């Protein structure tokens, strides 16, 4: 059995660790100054794993190479994972226990503002909603009666169904919708068209 001193002075071990440390130091965010620190980190891991070495299973160099490769792969994967974002990422579908309530999905514990942030939605305030309703009512009231009826029916029906109910071709109704959009834009309601 090799002791710690033998491993830390072993030419093969030091050579593979140095090569790997230089490879790692070429990654973004690292440089040549980090090589020594990376070498020490890998060496400490190899030393900690030497108690698992069994000469009946594999040659010492194969064991050391495997330990170094696995450590480096895991270290790089964890380093990349840390860059992706702070904290622990968890599905919103996992079950959580809410005090005084039944277990529920994590997503159901979020309020509307959390959901909006996650989906990049900027909702209007109650005052803006009220102003929008008032502006839209004024604009709609200025439209011809057939157009008003079309908009009312369109709330609950497809354009094909509205055309059948009103007795006009769908192309006519689509033309009206284009003209309505133009009038809304002229009235300064362009932001409300989407």
What pLDDT, in 10s, does the model give residues 110-146?
A: 777 777 776 777 777 888 888 888 888 888 899 999 9
pLDDT for 89 equals 59
Note every long-range contact of 27-36, with CB atoms under 8 Å and residues 24 or more positions apart, other chains counting.
27/76, 27/79
The CATH number of 126-192, from 1.10.10, 3.30.460, 3.30.60, 3.10.350, is 1.10.10
How much of the chain exceeds pLDDT 90, in percent? 27
pLDDT digits (tens, 9 = 90+) for 168-189: 999 999 999 999 988 888 888 7
- Rounded distance, CA 34 to CA 146, Å? 75
For residues 18 and 41, is the Cβ–Cβ distance under 8 A? no
pLDDT for 111 equals 79
Segment holding 105, helix H or strand E: strand 104-105
Annotated domain spans of the chain: 4-84, 90-123, 126-192
How much of the chain exceeds pLDDT 70, in percent? 90
pTM, two decimals, is 0.42
**Comparing 19 with 86, which gets the higher pLDDT?**
19
27 pLDDT exceeds 90? no
- Rounded distance, CA 102 to CA 32, Å? 55
Give the mean pLDDT of 81-105.
71
């Amino acid at each position: 059995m090799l002791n710690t001193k033998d491993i830390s002075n072993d030419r093969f071990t030091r050579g593979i660790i140095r090569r790997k440390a230089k490879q790692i130091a070429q990654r973004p965010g690292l440089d040549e100054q980090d090589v020594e620190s990376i070498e020490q980190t890998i060496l400490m891991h190899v030393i900690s794993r030497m108690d698992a070495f069994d000469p009946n299973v594999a040659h010492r160099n194969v064991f050391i190479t495997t330990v170094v490769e696995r450590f480096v792969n895991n270290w790089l994967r964890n380093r990349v994972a840390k860059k992706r974002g702070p904290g622990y990422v968890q599905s919103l579908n996992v079950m959580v226990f809410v005090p005084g309530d039944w277990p529920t999905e994590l997503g159901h514990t979020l309020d509307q503002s959390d959901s909006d942030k996650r989906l990049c939605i900027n909702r209007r305030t109650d005052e803006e909603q009220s102003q929008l309703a008032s502006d839209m009512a004024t604009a709609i009231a200025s439209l011809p009666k057939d157009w008003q009826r079309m908009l009312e029916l369109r709330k609950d029906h497809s354009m094909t169904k509205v055309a059948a109910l009103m007795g006009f071709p769908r192309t006519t109704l689509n033309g009206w919708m284009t003209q309505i959009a133009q009038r809304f834009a002229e009235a300064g309601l362009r932001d409300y068209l989407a």
